[in-house]
Chains A and B, each alone.
Chain A
Amino acid sequence: MSEHARPLRERLAERGIDRVLWLVLPAAALLGMLFVYPFVYGLGLSVQPNEGAPVIGNYVRFFSDDFERSTIWKTLVLAIPAAVVNVGISIPIAYKMRGPVRNKRLITTLLVMPATLGTVLVAEGLIRYFGPIGWFNQFLMAIGLIDGPLRLTHNYVGVMASLIITGFPLSLLLVLGHASGIDPDLERAAATLGAGPSERFRRVVLPLMLPGITIAFILAFVAAFSVFPSAVMVGNPAGETRVISIAAYQAAFERFDYPMASAIAMIMAAVQFAIVAFVFLLRGRLYRGSTSGGKG
């Protein structure tokens, strides 16, 4: 039978295109409308400054204003350490817990909880608990570790604490979920070949855990990067924790300068993508090769 004699539908079906694909259309269309279009619209808006300024006027304004430009640094100084801490603590715990562990389900259940509390509730709790007359300071003073209360809220420390409380459980679940899928036979094989515990961790288990660690780091970073409620509530939103999302919010909803707000949103996206790309690049340099034998 020649190619052209067969009906088009049959030839398309051979390549996997058939009526089933209509099912994906509503989701794709909706996300196109609500995610892609706003992004393109925002990008277009951001290059339409109010007066006869140059096309990139909003970007020039953002980067030439020290108060605005410094928000990038303030955000990264919060988001990167928070992601490093959250994932860094998760790795040894996931390593210990990856096998069958008693009460694993209870522990993971407890870990899911703070993730569902959300940043607003954690921030409200922190104001009280970490406050000058809160239990934390009361305890430290009672055991004689400090004389006066530590200042832990309405500054960098408070925001960092909130990022760790809401972020650490999620990081651990991601790293643990991935590590639990690593075939224990691989480590046993390494042991048979004479590798000691530290060598097994460094050369077998850690490389296998790396994909999970990478994703956990990226999600932890992105979650911390969008810090908004906690930066306002337990931070110092006019000073050291005036993060970039606050700058974007103020441009949009306090000054109603939508082009500027869109420009800041685009800068946020660019910074996030840059860090995510860098992490993937780093992972590629650290470990190249098959991770199969991990999650099957």
Chain B
Amino acid sequence: MTEVSASSRPTRRPLRLSFLSLLLVGVLGIFFLNLAALILGVVLNSFATSWFGTLLPNGLTTRWYAYAADLFQLLEVLRVTFIVGAAVVVLSLLIGAPAAYALARRQFPGKRPLMLLFLLPLLVAPVTYGIPLATALYQFNLAGSLAGVILANLVPSIPFVILLLTPFIEQIDENLERAARMCGASTGRVFVKVLIPLMAPGLLAAGLLVLIRVLAMFELTFLTAGPGEQTLVVALYYTVFAAGIRPSQAIDAMAVIYMLTAFVPLLIALRFVNPTQIVARIKQENVQ
């Protein structure tokens, strides 16, 4: 699995290194095996009639999904989740992409402090600014509303979009814009006809990654949402938190539905981006 092609390191093939490779494959293997078992356990339990202390459940059923949908008002929670997800994706692209364009194309005084402002929300844990943010939102009567949840989720999402798109825009040849202007296109037309089509893959990838982050973003939603604005992940937390009075299979049915909502955008996103690039680009910006 970790065999290296001859072109990259032609001279080296001693035994010691293959032992190291084996060890690393072992570590990765154990990690993924446990992870798979962990997820399988949740999935299997969501279909179990009852399961206690045995290797496998006693029988299988799908009734927990209907039960969970009813008990946890899943449709309402899904509706909120999609509204929040869509709003955050659209707004963070609309606000983040122009900023990324300006940062990619211009060197100006004050650029470094501005970059720091865009980096800090990603370098500080969400709970840290989430609590003052929630307090401030309560002050403006925005906490416990959909608008408040969306605003809170924009804080890490906009910097994320900026950091993903800035290097992407940097590699778009500026001459294409100049050529379009020379041919008489207005700024608006340059954006619509030249830049947006060229940026489309980057926009799509950034949008999907923001969606995945919002779906998994527990802290900010948890701190700003009232009972009516819970996204799936927060609703799942509350059900686990109040476990004991509810059948574990129903909780796991909800967990499986959450997993599916997170996996679908991930699978689509992976068609457009190489996973190492997702983080490598952010990292590259962070170092500067």
A residues at B contact (CB < 8 Å)? 15-18, 20-24, 26-28, 30-32, 34-39, 41-43, 45, 89, 92-93, 96-97, 99-103, 105, 107-114, 116-129, 133-136, 138, 165, 168, 170, 173-174, 176-178, 180-181, 184, 187, 191, 197, 211-212, 215-216, 218-219, 222-223, 225-226, 228-229, 232-233, 245, 248-249, 252-253, 258, 261-262, 264-265, 268-269, 272, 276, 295
Find out whether the CB atom of A102 lies under 8 angstroms from the CB atom of B95: no
Alpha-carbon distance A168/B32, docked complex (angstroms): 11
User: Which residues of A are found within 8 Å of B32, using beta-carbon distances?
Assistant: 110
Q: Which of B117-158 contact A (CB under 8 A)?
A: 117-118, 120-121, 123-129, 131-136, 139, 151-152, 154-155, 158
Find out whether the CB atom of A101 lies under 8 angstroms from the CB atom of B3: yes
Alpha-carbon distance A93/B219, docked complex (angstroms): 31
Alpha-carbon distance A253/B131, docked complex (angstroms): 10
Find out whether the CB atom of A125 lies under 8 angstroms from the CB atom of B39: yes
Find out whether the CB atom of B218 lies under 8 angstroms from the CB atom of A20: no
Find out whether the CB atom of A197 lies under 8 angstroms from the CB atom of B5: no
Find out whether the CB atom of A16 lies under 8 angstroms from the CB atom of B106: yes
User: Which residues of B are found within 8 Å of A173, using beta-carbon distances?
Assistant: 275-276, 278-280
Q: Which of B142-185 contact A (CB under 8 A)?
A: 151-152, 154-155, 158-159, 162
Give the shortest distance, in Å, between B247 (CB) and chain A (any CB). 13
Alpha-carbon distance A180/B8, docked complex (angstroms): 12
Q: A245 with B233: in contact, given A133-B53, A134-B41, A295-B284 (CB under 8 Å)?
A: no
Find out whether the CB atom of A269 lies under 8 angstroms from the CB atom of B255: no
Alpha-carbon distance A216/B27, docked complex (angstroms): 19
Find out whether the CB atom of A228 lies under 8 angstroms from the CB atom of B219: yes
Alpha-carbon distance A21/B136, docked complex (angstroms): 29
User: Which residues of B are found within 8 Å of A178, using beta-carbon distances?
Assistant: 280, 283-284
Find out whether the CB atom of A181 lies under 8 angstroms from the CB atom of B280: yes
Q: Which of B229-243 contact A (CB under 8 A)?
A: 233, 236-237, 240-241
Q: A99 with B42: in contact, given A38-B132, A121-B255, A233-B240 (CB under 8 Å)?
A: no
Our pick among A126, A211, A229, A252 for the contact of B38 (Cβ within 8 Å) is A126
Give the shortest distance, in Å, between A211 (CB) and chain B (any CB). 5
Our pick among B11, B233, B266, B284 for the contact of A120 (Cβ within 8 Å) is B233
- How many chain B residues have a CB neighbour from A under 8 Å? 102
Q: Could you write out 26 A-B pairs with CB less than 8 Å apart?
A: A20-B101, A34-B133, A37-B136, A41-B139, A42-B131, A92-B24, A93-B28, A99-B8, A102-B3, A107-B1, A109-B275, A118-B262, A126-B38, A129-B38, A129-B41, A136-B37, A173-B278, A174-B279, A178-B283, A178-B284, A181-B280, A222-B123, A252-B131, A253-B223, A269-B128, A272-B128
Find out whether the CB atom of B276 lies under 8 angstroms from the CB atom of A108: yes
Find out whether the CB atom of B218 lies under 8 angstroms from the CB atom of A31: no
Give the shortest distance, in Å, between A66 (CB) and chain B (any CB). 22
Assess whether B258 is interfacial by the CB under 8 Å rule: yes
Give the shortest distance, in Å, between A13 (CB) and chain B (any CB). 10
Assess whether B194 is interfacial by the CB under 8 Å rule: no
Alpha-carbon distance A112/B241, docked complex (angstroms): 27
Q: A121 with B158: in contact, given A28-B117, A92-B20, A112-B266 (CB under 8 Å)?
A: no
User: Which residues of B are found within 8 Å of A97, using beta-carbon distances?
Assistant: 2
Alpha-carbon distance A39/B237, docked complex (angstroms): 27
Find out whether the CB atom of A129 lies under 8 angstroms from the CB atom of B102: no
Which one of B58-66, B74-82, B107-115, B196-204 contacts A?
B107-115
Closest to B11 in A: A191
Find out whether the CB atom of B129 lies under 8 angstroms from the CB atom of A38: yes
Alpha-carbon distance A133/B248, docked complex (angstroms): 14
User: Which residues of A are found within 8 Å of B121, using beta-carbon distances?
Assistant: 31, 35
Give the shortest distance, in Å, between B162 (CB) and chain A (any CB). 6
- Counting from the closest, the 8 A-B pairs by CB-CB distance are A42-B132, A177-B280, A226-B125, A118-B216, A23-B98, A27-B99, A16-B108, A99-B8
